[in-house]
Every structure is written in C-alpha cells, then in structure tokens.
A and B are shown apart, each in its own frame.
Chain A
C-alpha cells in the first residue's frame, strides 16, 4: 500500500461519481454521486495526512463531512420542493427558466 495506490483509489471513486452525475438523469442519484465524489476527496485528504504524519487533514475531513451533511439536507429538501411542483425527479424536465 503506497500513497499512489490510495490516490488512485480516490481517483477511481471520483471518476465513478463524476460518471454518475454526467450520465444519470435521476436527481436523487445525481446527489448520491456527488456524495461519492466528496468521499473520494476525503479519502485523498486522509491519505496525504497520514503520509505527512499530522492530523490537520483529518480535521479538514471532519469539516467536509459536516458540510456534506448540511448539503444533503438542503439538497433533498430542494428535491422534495421540486417534486411538489413538477412531480418528477428527472433532471432534464427541470427547465422552468428555459420556457
């Protein structure tokens, strides 16, 4: 196990999250993929913190997890509010500003 292996694992996870955001149209799955990408960043931060031998990276991941929790709460509230007015979770059908 080297730093490179961990960064590669984080990269694989980030890529999968990115593909989820780009290729899926279900807003809930898009939010889920954003969570995967946030976790990839957290993984890379912890790997480099362990490599450097100090704890600042871990503190930063702690903050990132707190912000992610807030982001999910607001994001899902937005999905529910959207579902109320459009009865859909298809991102392509959310085009009120275009019309």
Chain B
C-alpha cells in the first residue's frame, strides 16, 4: 500500500515539476509547481513527517505560490515577450546534463547500498509536539535567528518595492 502511494506521489511530484519548468504561461507554471509541492507533502506523510506535510501545504502551496501568482499577474506579461527554451541545442544539452547528474546519483546510491534499505518510518513520528521538543530545546537559538531573518526580509521587501525612497 505504501509502495503504491509512494509511486503515485512520485509521479505527481516529477510530472508536475516537468510541466512547471516547460510551461510558457507563468500562471500555469506556478500552479503546476503548487501541484508538485502538494505531492511532496504526500511523501512527507508517508515518511511520518505530518507536521512538515502541513507546513509544506500551508507555506509552499499556500503562501509562496500565492505570492508568485500575485507578482505574475501584477506584471501582466504578454506571452510573446518570453522565450521558453533556447532551441533544440539547449534541449539536448539539458537532457544530457540531467541524465548524467541522475546517473551519477543513482550509481552512488547503488554503491552505498541505499536501495537495499527498506524504509519503514521508525522513531517518533514528526507530529507538532515531537518536532517542537527539539526545536525549542536544542535549536532555540537558530529559531530566534530565523525570526530576525524573516523580519529583515519583510523590511527589505517593502524597501525594495517602494517607488521612491524618501
């Protein structure tokens, strides 16, 4: 059952990502990327990372994609302004590069025996409480730094999009 769902989610993730990077229309690309993120949330559920699955849907498929769609619609681009791929040379070169990269990765996984390790989620499941415990005990300083980072990003985004600095 888990295997079936893994393959289903894997097809959703990879297929949506492929469609996202080949769409000419920006809105379609963003929506396909959102579909890919929902697929990743599904894989997180299979791995027992329930909290991260919810965060993935809320933050990625929700907040980040809405931000993308807002900007795409705000800029109101004509599709003729955008070239998609740089012609067949780019297609072939990209496919060869990607295939080489993937072949190297799979070869490394095979050599290190990662394909023989069946993955049954063990240890505590990643629920809100169990993730919060290390987050607020061992990683409390990075947590506070991230809050400052978000504040800085917010101020920076407002400043960058201001029409005139006064």
Contacts and interface: CB of A to CB of B under 8 A. Distances in A.
A31 B47 CA distance: 27
Interface string B136-157: 0011001100100110111011
A20 B21 contact: yes
Contacts of B110: 4
B115 A83 contact: no
Contact of A19 (B48, B94, B130): B94
A36 B14 CA distance: 10
Contacts of A11: 101-102, 105-106
A13 B139 contact: no
Given A17-B21, A72-B64, A51 B117 contact: yes
A22 interface: yes
A56 B109 CA distance: 22
5 contacts: A3-B109, A17-B21, A55-B134, A67-B149, A80-B161
A58 B29 contact: no
Interface residues of A, number: 69
Interface in A3-59: 3-9, 11-13, 15-20, 22-26, 28-29, 31-33, 35-36, 39, 42-43, 46-47, 49-56, 58-59
- A-B pairs, top 8 by smallest CB distance, nearest first, are A53-B123, A20-B21, A70-B153, A4-B115, A4-B114, A77-B160, A77-B157, A11-B105
A38 to B, nearest CB: 9
Given A18-B101, A29-B21, A73 B29 contact: no
A54 B131 CA distance: 10
Given A35-B33, A36-B21, A72-B68, 5 more contacts: A4-B106, A12-B14, A17-B21, A32-B30, A50-B47
A58 B46 CA distance: 14
A79 interface: yes
A4 B101 contact: no
A1 B5 CA distance: 10
